[in-house]
Amino acid sequence: MFFRLIALLLMLCLPCAAMLHAQDCYQKALEKGEHFARMAKPDKARLAWEKGKKCPGADIAKLDEKIRSLTDNDLDGIPNDYDECRFEYGAKEFKGCPCAAISYSKGIDAYYDNQPDSALVLFATAKTCSDTKMAEIAAWETKIAEKKYAYEPAEKAAIIAAPDKLPEFPGGEMEMFRHLYTRILYPMKAVENGVQGTVYLKFVVETDGQLSHLQIVEEPGADTGKEALRVVKTFPRFNPATVKGEPVRCYFKLPVKYKLE
């Protein structure tokens, strides 16, 4: 009778122990990832959360959201297409077609940051896709070959916060918003979930009017930021900011409003 009681207790306790172990596995992975994220080690955080998804009873949706929240170093804590690409396709596919357009964009950023070697690596990555803009990449590579740095001396690469004259879209502000709102599409995900609000974008207008370092500062979600960024990438070159008549690099902040009728 005694042994039967012990066996019964074991049968009752084993599932509980297994459940506790599963919860412990998930919780440790969650906390480990959060620790690495706070330490600015996104790759290790991502790995911890990916392992956590294998724990029995893991909250997969929560871990996926954590992974999506990981950001580049240049985004001031805001996720963008670069992060989503890495999340969706994984590190092994990062150098393939899915991320080619992002590599191209980041190559331009590197060029204007006086990092021509990094720019060349990113452009090479972008060329792994047959649908990449080969002619545009070749033009940037030629520019790097002919002139090692975008700004020389390096002091000219400084981004001016308060120039004498702000950068301007060709034709002025009204023309800029006409260009924006005649091209932007309301994301279906946002329509289905009743999402509306304002997306705030930020980018650098270079001395030649080229836009670089495009980023989403704030958004209501549901792909609204991604769509706004897509349209801004179609903007023509701006009239650059100036200080004492000389063109300078300058930040430009742009609000994009979404409202359901």
Q: Are residues 170 and 250 in the same domain?
A: yes
119 neighbors 140 (Cβ within 8 angstroms): yes
Q: Is the pLDDT of residue 9 over 60?
A: no
**Is 230 domain-assigned?**
yes
In the chain, how many domains are there? 3
The predicted pLDDT at position 232 comes to 94
Comparison of pLDDT for 68 and 97, the residue scoring more: 68
Q: Are residues 85 and 182 in the same domain?
A: no
The predicted pLDDT at position 57 comes to 82
**Which ranges of the chain would DSSP assign to H, the alpha helix?**
2-38, 42-52, 60-68, 81-89, 100-112, 116-126, 134-146, 173-181, 188-192, 224-232
Q: Are residues 145 and 176 in the same domain?
A: no
Pairing of strands 211-218, 241-243: unpaired
Question: Coil, strand or helix: which one is 93?
Answer: helix
**Is 4 domain-assigned?**
no
Find tokens 């950023």 and name the residue: 109
Range of the domain at 139: 76-157
Which pTM was predicted? 0.61
Closest CA to 147 of 109, 103, 114: 114
In the chain, the amino acid numbered 54 is K
Closest CA to 215 of 74, 94, 65: 74
**Is 66 domain-assigned?**
no
**Is 61 domain-assigned?**
no
Q: Is the pLDDT of residue 6 over 90?
A: no
Q: Residues of the chain with pLDDT > 70: what percent?
A: 72
Q: Are residues 166 and 241 in the same domain?
A: yes
Q: Are residues 176 and 256 in the same domain?
A: yes
Question: Coil, strand or helix: which one is 246?
Answer: strand
| Euclidean distance between CA atoms 236 and 104, whole angstroms | 17
**Is 257 domain-assigned?**
yes
Band the pLDDT of 101: cuts 50, 70, 90: confident
- The residue among 111, 141, 157 that closes a domain is 157
Q: Is the pLDDT of residue 147 over 90?
A: no
Mean per-residue pLDDT, 162-170: 95
Q: Are residues 122 and 182 in the same domain?
A: no
What's the distance, Cα to Cα, between the start and end of the chain in Å? 74
